[in-house]
Amino acid sequence: MQRKSPSLQTVVALCLLAMGAVALALVLFSAGIYRSVSHENRAAALKDIVSNEVRNRRQAMTAGQRIFALDLARNPAFRGAWRNGRGDGLDAVMRSALADAPADAALTGVRVLDAALDPAAEAGARSRGCPAPDEAEASPLASDRMAQRACIRAGVPVQSLLIPLPGIEPGGFVEVVSDPVAALARIGRDAGIALRIERPGGDRLYQTDDWQRLADGSDTVSTRYLTPAGANEPVFAIRAATGVGLLNEQLAATRDFVLLAAGSILALAILIALVSLRRLMQPLRWLQQAAENVSQERGVDDFVPVTAAGPPEIATPIRSFNAMVERVRGLVTELEGEVGQRRDAEVAANRARELAEAHARAASQAREFSQATLEAVVDAVIATDTEGRIEYINPVATQLTGVAEADAVGRPIDEVVALYDRGGQKRESHLVDRCVHERRTTGARRIGRLAGAADADDGEMRYVDYALVPMRDRGGAVVGAVLIFHDVTEAQRMTERLRWQATHDSLTGLINRYEFENRLHQVLQSARDDAGAGVLCYLDLDQFKLVNDTCGHVAGDELLRQLSFMLGDRLAGRGTLARLGGDEFGLLLHPCGIPAARAIAEDLREAIQQFRFVWTEHIFTIGVSIGVVSIDAESPSTDILLSAADTACYMAKDQGRNRVQVYEADDAALQARHAEMHWVTEINRALEEDRLILYCQDIVDAVTPEPVRHFEILLRMADGDGTIRQPGSFLPAAERYNLAPAIDEWVVRHALAWIASNDVPDDALYSINLSGRSLASDGFLDTVLGEMDRYAVSPRNLCFEVTETAAISNLASARAFMEALRARGCRFSLDDFGSGLSSFNYLQNLPVDFLKIDGAFVRDIHSNPVHQSIVRSMNDVGHALGMYTIAEFVENDAVIEVLRGIGVDFLQGYGYARPRPLEAVRMPAGVRATGD
């Protein structure tokens, strides 16, 4: 028994139910995932808050200690009491200052120590800091530097700052003591979170009142953060917690609403689908009934057409069925009439068959043999008499010409074979006449075009390789001609396709750079032959990289195709458009002058500017920069023309993009661009030929300038003739054309190789300049680390210099780069400080050891009070942030004297030493370098 299939309504309902169940399950699963992710995000955000607050509190505490110590040291009452040796006066001043100390510093006490570090006076609940500094820590004190220490004192964490008393006799020190736990405890009160500070082992140092309630709650997220202050400092574990009960309630309410809405929508969809499907299926039921009536031998005579109702998908098959039945009814009538005619035709066919068989038996056996041979060959063969009438045609020829053998024999060959020249324009006629009567030998094979029925599939004539030779009898007399040909269409099409691919861009269909340069050469030659001048336009799309980066290269390719079609339509045959590569196009106008070419270029620029590219949900607006150069008899070559057009195009980009720039040979800006482009080639050649040279310049201590242990590595380039080029002549071009990373890699590699091979002391320091492009370049950090490992250079010998502008413009990349190398032990110097954005706020976000003050403020500091004030403020800020300061362009004794008075740490310039080759550096032994 045949199993009954379910109805279409049942299948649709079950499918909708299954899809609804899957959707509800996905909603539940997504809700659980979203809850987990929300909690993780809340915990991560909490940890970021704690991390930022810990860093800010510690910085605030350290800054408060410094400010307190410096204010106390500057206090006239304190200074007087110290000189006079009045201990009671010192105590009073310190207690008063301690009472007014900022809360962020969390001060617990202050002591005054004499030059031997023995206590002279103290104030506060806990005035004693860490034990007396060891030899390593005392070294900065000997050089009038501050020393900051942290330790556990009597089971209590303390942080102390020991600072010398500047300019007071007798000499001494101020020790400021703070409670880091009290400073960190303010995080919980200010941030409104539950907080617990403990030792890593779990010993509690502090916790907020609501800590226990939130820490044990179920609707709570918490995090743990370790805050090591540095080497040999106490480590605190800071735990924070916050409630997420409201978040959980919102997530549950959202989940319930989505489930209810999805269920309601599903039920409504099933109901609407079933009702609509039942109404749509009614005409198909009528069609089913009509088909059953026809199939049950009721015939088609009584057929009643079915009403065609409903949408086209249902009405069209019904109308087709009605037409089919009517057609069958007509065919039945015609078939009955043809049956009688077939009987008469069979009698006539039998008689014709008997005559044909008798004729075939009478044919010559030799003719049968030659015909069989000709039919077996793969070439088409046609034999004619001397008048050009066909006597024989083999099957291959009938297939190619589309004329059956019975129809071809006896007809002139020109009526059966339509041969044309290779271009398909001129027909070859009177073939046999030229071969037989005019005695023209055409036995050499030629390529032509053949029109015939075989081309009906593609509508094009076929290529054939053909030859026509005379046919002679035994006596040598010409008795006819033989045409032999075979189909070579595929080979010819392949040749044409290869020729097209060699001269066209496969993506846009435009001619490629190779063909464009050929046509440019032809236009240049025409201009030299006084056949009219022309114009070359170089088009470079603006913002094309944004499309590739946002939507991928598939979208970029589609954009190029659409733009190519649009530009071709816009030009309407007025010029030759080509794709030169990437997003660059070339336009050749001939004959044409600059005014007309500029108008055409402006028209194309406006068309591209108004063009909107739509890809999925994105809509892009792009522009184009166009360089225009004239082609005349004075133009030297195609390469120079292309270079000039490219230069003008880049000038258009420099002047704001989306504009047209006409090349003028005497334009100073274009000449400068030409010079920069020349430097690009020269830089690449110098890198290949290893013609870069490392120089260095001394950086000396402002107090004790000898011996020198700190150097800045500089760069020079040697020309082919040995001339040494300064970096200012070629580095701007390197920055513009993104060659700076390659130069920096060369400098790092050769500098590290020199350091490794010269056995430099452990305390020598070499500063290497880096470009901002290198900081943002992918893989440059890995290159530097790899070279350090390769040459086994100590990180304490390395200091990397970045300019203030480069660091701030790539702040995130610069900070990540610095932190990675500082973790290895390298140091950093911020170069040209004050020349760029000059924001002191950025200094707190950059892990910098040296602050190099821009030489523009240093050169005339001895005669410019404004510059003297600026340098003083930079020096104070650098010292407040724990940085050493370096003054550049120090050129005479007057400048040196002012800088020493201000307190700048290091000096660099012609006043001490000029740059010299790195190979000339000789390091003295036995003296430690400053700046550690």
Q: What is the pLDDT of residues 844-884, one digit of tens each?
A: 778 899 999 988 899 899 899 999 999 999 899 889 888 99
> Is residue 229 scored above 70 in pLDDT?
no
Cis peptide before 795 (omega within 30 of 0): no
Mean pLDDT of 363-383: 56
At 463-474, the pLDDT tens digits run: 777 777 787 777
Q: Cβ neighbours of residue 95 under 8 Å, at least 6 residues apart?
A: 123, 124
- Judged by average pLDDT, the poorest of 42-51, 371-380, 616-625, 801-810 is 371-380
Question: How big is the CA angle at 739 (ends 737 and 742), to the nearest 5 degrees?
Answer: 165
pLDDT at 628: 92
Of 280 and 724, the one with more pLDDT: 724
Each residue's pLDDT tens digit, 291-319: 777 666 555 666 677 776 667 767 777 77
pLDDT, residue 684, reads: 81
For residue 929, pLDDT over 80 is answered with no
- What integer pLDDT is reported at residue 365 of this predicted model? 44
pLDDT computed for residue 353 by the predictor: 67
- Closest-CA residue to 920 (of 754, 702, 788, 727): 754
**Using one digit for the tens of pLDDT, what is the confidence trace for 120-166?**
888 877 767 777 555 445 444 544 567 777 787 777 788 888 888 87
pLDDT of residue 338 exceeding 80, the answer is: no
Instruction: Say which residue, 482 or 695, is predicted with more confidence.
Output: 695
| pLDDT for res 539 | 92
| pLDDT for residue 455 | 45
pLDDT winner (highest mean) among 194-198, 265-269, 716-720, 762-766? 762-766
> What does the pLDDT look like over 213-222, one tens digit per residue?
777 777 777 7
Q: Which of the given ranges, 560-564, 669-673, 918-922, has the highest pLDDT on average?
A: 560-564
Give the chain's mean pLDDT: 79
Top pLDDT among 824 and 839 is at 824
pLDDT 10s digits, 629-672: 998 888 888 888 888 888 888 888 878 888 998 887 665 555 55
Q: Choose the weakest-confidence range: 398-407, 448-457, 611-620.
A: 448-457
Indicate the pLDDT class of residue 925, thresholds 50, 70 and 90: very low
User: Is the pLDDT reported for residue 503 higher than 90?
Assistant: no
The whole-angstrom separation of Cα 653 and Cα 243 is 55
The CA angle 442-443-447, to the nearest 5 degrees, is 80
Over residues 64-80, the mean pLDDT reads 84
- For residue 96, pLDDT beyond 60: yes
What pLDDT was estimated at residue 5? Answer: 64
First to last CA, the chain: 97
Chain segment 719-753, per-residue pLDDT in tens: 877 788 888 778 777 777 778 888 999 999 999 99
pLDDT for res 3 = 61
DSSP secondary structure of 703-725: S---S--EEEEEEEEE-TTSPEE
Check residue 797 and give its pLDDT: 92
Name the band, by pLDDT with cuts 50, 70 and 90, for residue 826: very high
Q: How confident is the model at residue 366 (pLDDT cuts 50, 70, 90)?
A: very low
454 — pLDDT class (breaks 50, 70, 90): very low
- Half-sphere exposure in the Cβ direction for 4 (13 Å, CA): 4
What is the pLDDT, as a whole number, of residue 444? 62
Tell me what pLDDT residue 403 has: 80
Helices (H), 294-389: 312-362, 365-376
Residue 464: both structure tokens together = 């054939």
Mean pLDDT within 346-375: 56
For the residues 800-825, what does the mean pLDDT come to? 84
Distance (Å, whole) CA 537 – CA 629? 7
Q: What is the 3-state secondary structure (H, E, C) of 52-113?
A: HHHHHHHHHHHHHHHHHHHHHHHCHHHHHHHHHCCHHHHHHHHHHHHHCCCHHHCEEEEEEE
Name residue 654's amino acid: D
Label residue 364 by pLDDT band (50, 70, 90).
Answer: very low
pLDDT for the residue numbered 904:
94
C-beta of residue 679 within 8 angstroms of C-beta of residue 686:
no
pLDDT of residue 108: 84
* Bridging pattern class, strands 618-621 and 442-451: unpaired
Tell whether pTM > 0.75: no
